[in-house]
Amino acid sequence: MSEGISYHNKDVLFKFLSELYKDTSLDAFGLQGMPKIKQLLPSNLPKVRADEKRSDTQFLLEDGSILMVEYESNNAITENHIKYLDYAQRILDRAYREGKSINPIHIVVIYTSDVAKVGEGLNAGDVGIQSKPILLSEYNGDVILEKISDKIERGEDLTQEELMKLSILPLMHSTKPREENVRNSVELAKQIKDERQQIQVIAGILTATDKFVSDEFAAIMRRWMGMTKVGRLIAEEARKEKSRDIARRLLKKMSSEEVADVTGLDIDEVNEIEQENE
């Protein structure tokens, strides 16, 4: 499996992913009645040890509840739900320490096409946890890819549902190898007329498949993406994010003007960062 997307690139991909999911629900995947997504939340949790994994993605919903979205390629229900229980405890801990509030948590697990049947929770007496599964083995990725491709060729705009499905299409059932589907999905996304939607969908594809491709393929994808316009935009945004991180640290001991000079950031942007730090 891939070692994963680098820290700053992952931050940037999550930023674009947040734009893709904002003001949408998961109705397209059969989860009816869940509040719409308001914004992406940081996935770094308190009390993370060096050997621990983090929650894949967290969203704040319109009603103030939190949505954890996890990606799995196995049906190790007990082991996975013990892991989610740990994530949920740390999310509750952070919310209570920061705002003295308890936010309801929803857990949605997106299972790759490797999984056909799953359980939905862990019952350990007075302690338990439940999740809502999305089985991508029930979605024909080849058919969906063809329909979206035909629509793009006709010059038609894609619906929000189609954009969301394209962003996780490589994890759906297919007659083709997963890594080929990653490449095909990214190539198709590059043909979307709206450049912002292009980046949003590609961010979704790279984020969703990060855990499920080989290191060799991940390296090939990074080199290939670096030669594309979308890849260069992501890289440029990552460089800016790195500069902003440096600015946050320097502002503790330097003036805004000095920080702007060192990082190359616009003085107005440095002032915004300073306000965020207060």
Q: Is 57 helix (H, G, I), strand (E, B) or coil?
A: strand
What's the CATH fold of domain 34-138? Trna Endonuclease; Chain: A, domain 1 (3.40.1350)
- Cβ–Cβ under 8 Å, residues 113 and 172: yes
Which has the closest alpha carbon to 206: 23, 9, 7?
9
The Cα 199–Cα 195 span in angstroms is 6
- Cβ–Cβ under 8 Å, residues 260 and 243: no
Lowest-pLDDT range, 4-8, 69-73, 112-116, 246-250? 4-8
Q: Would the pTM of this model clear 0.75, i.e. be above it?
A: yes
| Assigned token pair, 103 | 């936010």
Beta carbons within 8 Å of 54's beta carbon, 6+ residues apart:
43, 44, 45, 48, 87
Residue 84 pLDDT > 70:
yes
Average pLDDT over residues 91-120: 90
The Cα 2–Cα 126 span in angstroms is 37
The angle, 0 to 180 degrees and rounded to 10, between the axes of the packed helices 178-189 and 141-153 is 20
For the segment 113-141, what is each residue's pLDDT rounded down to a tens digit? 999 999 888 999 999 999 999 999 999 99
Domain ranges of the chain: 34-138, 139-227, 233-277
For 193, which DSSP code? S
The Cα 267–Cα 141 span in angstroms is 47
For 173, which DSSP code? B
The Cα 84–Cα 250 span in angstroms is 36
Q: How confident is the model at residue 48 (pLDDT cuts 50, 70, 90)?
A: very low
- Cβ–Cβ under 8 Å, residues 168 and 136: yes
Looking at residue 276, its pLDDT comes to 66
Spell out a b/e string for 14-42, using b for 16 or more CB atoms within 10 Å of the CB, else e: bbbbbebbeeebbeebeeeebbebbebbe
Looking at residue 51, its pLDDT comes to 45
Give how far Cα 39 sits from Cα of 203, 236, 256, Å.
Answer: 16, 23, 29
How far from chain centre, in Å, is Cα 163?
Answer: 14
Looking at per-residue confidence, does 47 or 153 come out higher? 153
Name residue 210's amino acid.
D
Residue 43 pLDDT > 70:
no
Query: pLDDT exceeding 70 applies to what percent of the chain?
Result: 85
Looking at residue 108, its pLDDT comes to 94
Looking at residue 94, its pLDDT comes to 85
